[in-house]
Amino acid sequence: MSQKFLRTLLRHPRRLGFAIFNLVVVGLVAAWLTAAPEAGLADLPNFALANVGMVFVLAAWVLSWLAWVWMVLRRRRSRPLGGEAGAEVGAQARAS
């Protein structure tokens, strides 16, 4: 990896944490999907507990994505990019 990429990740800890969280969730889901109960009926409580745990993990994952989208949309609404607002700022700078 390049130094610039690493500096960018370290400069934005929320992005780095979110990326790591997504990788952990994907790994847990992959492990959960490939695991199969081997002890028959005796393993049923563990299987049920694993399913309930995965429901909580997936719920946290969905909620984190919704929070991320809400944060990005709120930030973009408060700071418009270019467009009319950028033209007004440029016109005001030229007028003064």
DSSP helix/strand/coil, 8: helix
pLDDT reading at 96 higher than 70:
no
Which pLDDT tens digit goes with each residue over 8-55? Answer: 777 877 778 888 899 999 999 998 888 877 777 778 888 888 889 999
User: What is the dihedral angle through the alpha carbons of 13, 19, 23, 28, rounded to the nearest 10 degrees?
Assistant: 70
Return the axis-axis angle of helices 13-34 and 3-11, rounded to nearest 10°.
100
The residue to which tokens 């049923």 are assigned: 44
